[in-house]
Amino acid sequence: MDAKILIESFAEFARSKNVDRPTMIRILEDVFRAMIRKKFETDENFDVTINADKGDLEIFRIREIVDDNSEDIWDFDKISFTEARKIEPDFEIGEEVYEKIELEEFGRRAVQMARQTLIQRIKDLEKDILYNKYEEQVGEIVSAEVYQILGREILLIDGDGNELILPKTEQISKDRFRKGDTVKAIVHRVDMNNGNPKIILSRTSPVFLERLFENEVPEVYDGLITIVKIVREPGERAKVAVESYDDRIDPVGACVGMKGSRIHAVVRELQNENIDVINYTENLDLYVTRALSPAKVSSITVDQERKRISVFLKPDQVSLAIGKGGFNIKLASRLVGFEIDVFRELNEYDDEDVDLSEFVDEIDGWIIEELKKTGLDTAKSVLALTKEDLTRRTELEEETVDEIFRILRQEFDQ
């Protein structure tokens, strides 16, 4: 393979990978200089000129002519007077000899290795370009097409044919994709495994919800409305705290849109995730009240030292505060940054009820605390639930729930 064919084939391959001309020339020169070092031990006195467009390559070895008896005759950049005269008969001592080195002089094997090295360098460069491209897009929404569905992840292809990964853990539980579907997600992170970039997407990250709001709500995109915090149980429920520094803008109304037009687009993308948009405030009591919506709070007690808040509600509001699967109270706690304990306000009828703390001798304290976290602070409030409902709310073992029911029923049987 001569230099012209080698350079032209490499240049064509590099252009197909969108490699710019200066980078292409730099790679070519690096590889040829590596060949020179392997053959001559150094490339310091060599001049390499490449014209990638024409496929031209010129390599010149530059040496100074010295007397045959000179002590410097063995230096890499020196040539004896006698040897120089063999190249050009009218050379004189002190002049420089520019000796052209043809590619064939390096040997067929060296040229083949150079070709493989050039291709590998481009592939490595392509990986670096891909890594840097998506590293800059971390936290941004991308769209890609599903091309393979595996047990633990979905493989997607972007517009340039690059492989992206959406792990099962980063999918919404209700997501159901088929080959050929277009999927929206954010770039969650970019890993480098054995020199290969691995682009991980996410649809469960709060950042994905934030970017969807930016796409649907111009005021958020323009910075007129700030998203203070987002907490999510992906596919189930989310709470978004927003504020605006412009009194003329209602941040909640702007995010919801006319007849819910804006938020509906977000909800559809998140598989009907229930999204609560609330006004952020530094007034903690008011913030907690808004966070527990749609429940109506009667009173609040804050323990700043323990980072706990006790919320008291009328009996018919407790289930609303807790929400289906306990998601409402869990998200409210995460949103305000305090552990929230829900308590029922007792009325005259409830005088016949018994506070759970009175069963501490029979029921472990941590179990009582677990029940109170979900708003179950009296015996009757627990007995009003089914075993399945209580197990789901508290994540207690079924045997433990059976024992709780036995103890509490025994109290009223007596």
**Residue 211 above 90 pLDDT?**
yes
For residues 383 and 404, give the distance between their C-alpha atoms in angstroms, rounded to a whole number.
9
For residues 398 and 230, give the distance between their C-alpha atoms in angstroms, rounded to a whole number.
33
More confident position, 55 or 235: 235
Compute the average pLDDT of residues 102-127: 83
For residues 88 and 63, give the distance between their C-alpha atoms in angstroms, rounded to a whole number.
13
For residues 325 and 392, give the distance between their C-alpha atoms in angstroms, rounded to a whole number.
7
CATH topology for the 143-202 domain:
OB fold (Dihydrolipoamide Acetyltransferase, E2P) (2.40.50)
pLDDT at 381: 80
Confidence band of 351 (pLDDT split at 50, 70, 90): low
For residues 401 and 403, give the distance between their C-alpha atoms in angstroms, rounded to a whole number.
5
Measured at the CA of 268, the angle between CA 267 and CA 273, to 5 degrees, comes to 40
**Residue 349 above 60 pLDDT?**
no
Neighbours of 169 (CB within 10 A): 10
pLDDT at 129: 85
**Residue 337 above 90 pLDDT?**
yes
pLDDT at 387: 81
Q: What is the pLDDT of residues 76-99, one digit of tens each?
A: 888 898 888 888 888 888 888 898
For residues 164 and 199, give the distance between their C-alpha atoms in angstroms, rounded to a whole number.
5
Q: Indicate the CATH number for domain 3-132.
A: 3.30.1480
pTM to 2 decimal places: 0.68
**Residue 40 above 70 pLDDT?**
yes
Give the DSSP letter of residue 144: E
Looking at domain 205-280, its CATH class is: alpha beta
Ranges for all domains in the chain classified under CATH 2.40.50.140? 143-202
**Residue 34 above 80 pLDDT?**
yes
More confident position, 9 or 400: 400
Cα dihedral: 5, 11, 12, 18 (round 10)? 170
pLDDT at 11: 78
Ranges for all domains in the chain classified under CATH 3.30.1480? 3-132
Compute the average pLDDT of residues 100-128: 84
Q: What is the pLDDT of residues 93-107, one digit of tens each?
A: 888 889 888 888 888
Contact 233, 330 (CB under 8 A): yes
